[in-house]
Structure 1
Amino acid sequence: MLQIPLWQRIVIWGLVAIGVVLALPNAFYSRVERHNDAVKAIEQGVTDPQVLADAALWPDWLPSRLVALGLDLRGGAHLLAEVEVEQVFADRLDGYWPEIRDALRQHRDEIGTFRRLDGPPDELRIRISNPAGLQKAVEVVRGLASPVVSLGSVGATDIEVRAEAPDIVVVSLSEAEKAAITDRTVRQSLEIIRRRVDEVGTREPTIQRQGERRILIQVPGVGSAAELKALIGTTARLTFHPVVGRTTDPDQRPGPGQIIVPSMDEPGVYYILEKTPVVTGEDLVDAEPAFDQNGRPAVHFRFNPTGARKFGRYTAENVGSPFAIVLDNEVISAPVIREPIPGGSGQITGNFTVEESTQLAILLRAGALPAELTFLEERTIGPELGADSIEAGKLAAIVAGIAVLVFMALSYGWFGIIANVALILNVAMIFGLLSLIGATLTLPGIAGIVLTIGMAVDANVLVFERIREELRTARGPARAIELGYEKALSAILDANITTFITAVILYVMGSGPVRGFAVTLGLGIVTSVFTAVYLTRVMIVMWFERRRPRKIEV
């Protein structure tokens, strides 16, 4: 008998209603977008009258999530960056020196005195005064090697040590350690770039790894690629170094293990610093704009426990000595340590404006990029091009939708009109689900929706053709409708499950626009099956119960 329990009808219509309500904000996109921006501003303490007016543009009791527009629809900036890991290798190798120095000091009776030599950045070279102890020195340094923590490098160590006759020990990173460092550096760069972009409130950025060392960055709504580079291209590398001396000669050659760095505030002045920093910005846990005791803009910072211990120990042992705060290879301040600083917090002062101190605090709080970025490709997509893309997508969807609606109405009559209503609700549910999960809509995503419009009626065609066949066997209309849905179900599921698997593979293996297409296609399949198998059946049953026709035409 052609019957559907009341609770099933309530559930089906309830799901449709939820989907339509979730999709509703997208019909008033600019108004809801202004409302959402105003709500965020109010949460941050902004009480401007215009902001309050924008917040009232959309009722708070209605959903306000929108389908985010991708770069090709909204306009914005596109960057392809490559992470320069060679400097990270050199820094990593330089970080071994204090440990190697302490280990060799314990064996001076066998190896004599030693000193570090200048050499290539990928090697740490040590000369000992007693050539007879060369092998002993190699054994001592080799004993400091640690296993590489990587799935593909089981049993490998992080450093390689060799003797270079007659009296030099050469330390270099192993290939396994370089691969592990590269992976960690790119992952860290990804996270830091994402945090920096999120700090300024941009919408739905795409930040993905491409290949071994490249990162794709797409941020909708940004005015230009140069603006995006200014935000993420700054390394904001903060380090604290012991000061060896000052000079006005930029060509002066520093001693072994030392570097010469220009002063930011004093043109023509250069500082000679110990190359190995006491503490780095990686130990920072917070940074915020502030004012110093003279009312000038500054940045207040705070270290984590590890950084606080190192900073406190150094300041306690070097009271009366200057130390340099270096930001991106410039000394921004070189104060004299007046007293120990055990609390792990301090203040960076310099010739900052309020805007510069705020931007520096954002960069430091988001974290220092572990390596320089080289931008291989940059592109700015104007909002006019995005608007043209949206209009083209709308036109394609409207043409496809009208063609399908006309075809179904002419082919199946009243049943085709029911399928058309379900198709319209199906598109609304797709947008509702996209809004719910916070998906980003791109041009390929629009293509996925257009494809879904065509696929959405496939299930209805199968059902209606089965009903036609059952009517030819002289069955009654109620029994024909019931059998039509039952016998078409397996074919509907088989066709849509295979397409859904394809969408999942595209999502897992693809990136960027391919994922956008896969998301809309996958969601469209789910909603299409729901509307074709359940919604149209409820609508036909409700019509049948009201009209009670003795004969139907499909």
Structure 2
Amino acid sequence: MIDVRDNWRVLLLLGLCVLAALALFGPLGADAGETGLNESEQSFDDPTNLQYGLDLSGGTRIRGKLIGMTTEGVSISAEDQGSVERSIADELGLEGIDVTVRQRGQNSADVEVFNKSVTKSDFVDALSTVGVDITVDDIRDGVTGESRSAAVDTLSERIDKTGLGGSSVTTIGSATGGNFIDVEVPGEDRESVKELIGDAGRVQIIAGYPVESSNGTELRTEQVLTGEDFSSIAPAEPANEQNPAANVPVTLESQAGERYATVMQEGGFTSNGIGRCSFDAATHSGPQEGEWCLYTVVDGEYVYGASMSPDLAESINSGSFLTTPSFILQTGNFEEAQQLEINLRSGALPTELSIESASFISPSQAQQFKPLALLTAITAWITVAFVVYIWYRDVRVAVPMFLTATSEVFLLLGFAASFGMALDLSHIAGLIAVIGTGLDDLIIMADEILQRKERVETGRVFQSRFRKAFWIIAMAAGTTIIAMSPLAVLSLGDLQGFAIITIIGVLIGVGITRPAYGDVLRKLMLDDVKRS
């Protein structure tokens, strides 16, 4: 008969092991998604719900920096934010999206410029035109944390739209103080990933049309829409009988629809400009004079120019367009339409991502790590178990010790499976560290309680020795957690994964497995006294 009051820690450990088993092999595990590997490359048939990172599944890792410069804490009021952005952009000859002013307070702001052709001296001169007095030393290379976070969200969504499972996008700090964006995509080659993330994905709809002036007819270009003006994006469509060009059907926000309709009417698109555009991306690199064209511009490149259709012009003139502000964005081919759809759905990067390094791990080679890691773990487990048994010469001490250590690893793997953590070599290193420290703690506990293999005479003696051993273990665990905490918080790449697994393993050990092993020893050792 099990006394729940004396063995509740053991029962808790068993219950958690059951939940870990359900997470590893059953319905509680996170969806592993598609890995991108071919069937021929899946040399290790894994029956678990575990997901694997680049080191254990193969694929591409790309590390890059966002291009830009930043000055922080300058004196700009919240009321002047918009005018300051426009003035700096005009002074530097940039688009409005290349300058951002982020308010930090009523009269304090950070200013970012996203263009690699602008020098720090140019930036200082532009700020001086709006009354901001700074020096070159007040400007640093790089962007703000908000811009990096926005870039991470955009790249993550962009990759998710392609259905590439197991991918990750994180920010990583360097020892020199720089910040990088690290992208890992299992099962894909370098060129495919570079093509997917290398472009900023800034989408603009620019109207080009002729206007009369004192100097005659001139070409006017005006940005009408950006990626933020679209409320819904339909799937890309190939060219067909109704639409001779590949396209992406879109719907505008209400305010953007009103602005679009106004420009189309005032610019003459809905009257003289119907069908008046002969833009060809193969021969033309920009707006054409004497024509009414709606240009689709991606990252500054004019990918398509379309004329106003009679149906769309009629809906704008009649006002029905404002009820349902929908139309199609045309591109040169279906592949461009698909990329345009991804850019519109995920949004644009704040600035261009400069790729610093790109590496590729063969999926077939990475797959070999899994069975080798399992074989290594089993060999180490058997070896250490044999040594511990030789020392104690008592299976009642050695067997529970290794069952407890095994349950600790099992709980960690269940945790990883339930939260969809992609395991890589840094996590495996963390598991090894947890196994090592865990066995050390259990040996300390057994030695302290047994006192050179002496018998425990009473429950009071056992409890005293257990508390002393547990206090030593708890202090060591606290030291480990404090030492690992900076690595877990800071974005330092693989070190972060190692620290997180180690901290979680230590917490599981101190909170669950060590006390459970103490209960097992108490039951076995005191029963031994009674029998004698």
Larger radius of gyration: 1
Alignment-derived partner of residue 150 in structure 1: 104
- Is 2:463 the partner of 1:482? yes
Gap regions ≥5 residues in structure 1 = 39-56, 59-63, 87-94, 101-115, 125-145, 247-254, 259-271
Identify the match of residue 234 of structure 2 among 284, 288, 305: 288
Distance across 1 between alignment mates of 2:426 and 2:110: 44
Identify the match of residue 191 of structure 2 among 213, 216, 226: 226
Alignment-derived partner of residue 324 in structure 1: 294
- Indicate if the aligned counterparts of 2:488 and 2:500 stay in contact, CA closer than 8 A: yes
Alignment-derived partner of residue 287 in structure 2: none
Identical aligned pairs, as a percentage? 19
Alignment-derived partner of residue 250 in structure 1: none
- Name the CA shift for 1:200/1:542 in 2 (closer, same or farther; >3 Å): farther
Distance across 2 between alignment mates of 1:150 and 1:460: 52
Report the secondary structure of 2:160's partner residue: helix
- Is 2:163 the partner of 1:201? yes
Displacement of 1:512 in angstroms is 2.0
- Indicate if the aligned counterparts of 1:22 and 1:432 stay in contact, CA closer than 8 A: yes
Alignment-derived partner of residue 259 in structure 2: 310
- Indicate if the aligned counterparts of 2:172 and 2:491 stay in contact, CA closer than 8 A: no
Alignment-derived partner of residue 367 in structure 2: 387
Distance across 1 between alignment mates of 2:531 and 2:140: 75
Identify the match of residue 404 of structure 1 among 354, 375, 384: 384
1:23-102 matches, within 5 Å, as 23=21, 26=24, 37=33, 66-85=49-68
Distance across 2 between alignment mates of 1:468 and 1:210: 47
- Is 2:146 the partner of 1:182? no
Deviations 1:42-84 (A, max 9, x none): xxxxxxxxxxxxxxx99xxxxx983321211111111122323
Identify the match of residue 439 of structure 2 among 457, 475, 492: 457
Report the secondary structure of 1:438's partner residue: coil
Distance across 1 between alignment mates of 2:186 and 2:462: 51
Identify the match of residue 121 of structure 1 among 68, 93, 114: 93
Alignment-derived partner of residue 200 in structure 2: 235
Deviations 1:119-178 (A, max 9, x none): 863799xxxxxxxxxxxxxxxxxxxxx9851379837889999999xxxx9669886998
Distance across 1 between alignment mates of 2:364 and 2:110: 54
- Name the CA shift for 1:120/1:493 in 2 (closer, same or farther; >3 Å): closer
Deviations 1:169-228 (A, max 9, x none): 966988699879932443322221111012223334332234587543332423211111
Distance across 2 between alignment mates of 1:311 and 1:179: 38
Report the secondary structure of 1:16's partner residue: helix
Report the secondary structure of 1:423's partner residue: helix
Deviations 1:211-266 (A, max 9, x none): 587543332423211111121223332212221369xxxxxxxx9xx9xxxxxxxx
Identify the match of residue 401 of structure 2 among 411, 419, 431: 419
Distance across 2 between alignment mates of 1:155 and 1:289: 39
Alignment-derived partner of residue 17 in structure 1: 15
- Is 2:248 the partner of 1:299? yes
Alignment-derived partner of residue 284 in structure 2: none
Alignment-derived partner of residue 506 in structure 1: 487
Displacement of 1:303 in angstroms is 2.5
Distance across 2 between alignment mates of 1:536 and 1:181: 52
- Is 2:365 the partner of 1:367? no
Alignment-derived partner of residue 333 in structure 1: 305
TM-score (norm 2): 0.71
- Indicate if the aligned counterparts of 1:20 and 1:425 stay in contact, CA closer than 8 A: no
Distance across 1 between alignment mates of 2:124 and 2:433: 63
Report the secondary structure of 2:313's partner residue: coil
Displacement of 1:501 in angstroms is 1.8
Gap regions ≥5 residues in structure 2 = 35-44, 70-81, 114-121, 274-291
- Name the CA shift for 1:76/1:493 in 2 (closer, same or farther; >3 Å): same
TM-score (norm 1): 0.68
Q: Which segment is superposed worse, 334-343 or 492-501?
A: 334-343
What is the identity, as a one-letter code, of the residue corresponding to 2:313? R
Displacement of 1:454 in angstroms is 1.5
Displacement of 1:377 in angstroms is 1.2
- Matched residues, number: 451
Report the secondary structure of 2:223's partner residue: coil
Displacement of 1:432 in angstroms is 1.2
What is the identity, as a one-letter code, of the residue corresponding to 1:332? Y
Displacement of 1:7 in angstroms is 5.1
1:333-352 matches, within 5 Å, as 333-336=305-308, 338-339=313-314, 340=316, 341-342=321-322, 343-352=324-333
- Name the CA shift for 1:172/1:282 in 2 (closer, same or farther; >3 Å): farther
- Name the CA shift for 1:310/1:173 in 2 (closer, same or farther; >3 Å): farther
Report the secondary structure of 1:370's partner residue: coil
Distance across 2 between alignment mates of 1:158 and 1:460: 55
Q: Which segment is superposed worse, 146-155 or 533-542?
A: 146-155
Distance across 1 between alignment mates of 2:409 and 2:32: 24
- Indicate if the aligned counterparts of 1:149 and 1:180 stay in contact, CA closer than 8 A: no
- Indicate if the aligned counterparts of 1:236 and 1:363 stay in contact, CA closer than 8 A: yes
Displacement of 1:515 in angstroms is 1.2
What is the identity, as a one-letter code, of the residue corresponding to 2:59? G
What is the identity, as a one-letter code, of the residue corresponding to 2:156? R
Displacement of 1:293 in angstroms is 7.2
- Indicate if the aligned counterparts of 1:189 and 1:369 stay in contact, CA closer than 8 A: yes
RMSD of aligned residue pairs (Cα, Å): 4.6
Distance across 2 between alignment mates of 1:475 and 1:323: 92
- Indicate if the aligned counterparts of 2:10 and 2:520 stay in contact, CA closer than 8 A: no
- Indicate if the aligned counterparts of 2:166 and 2:185 stay in contact, CA closer than 8 A: yes
The one of the two structures with greater contact order (alpha-carbon pairs below 8 A, sep at least 6) is 2
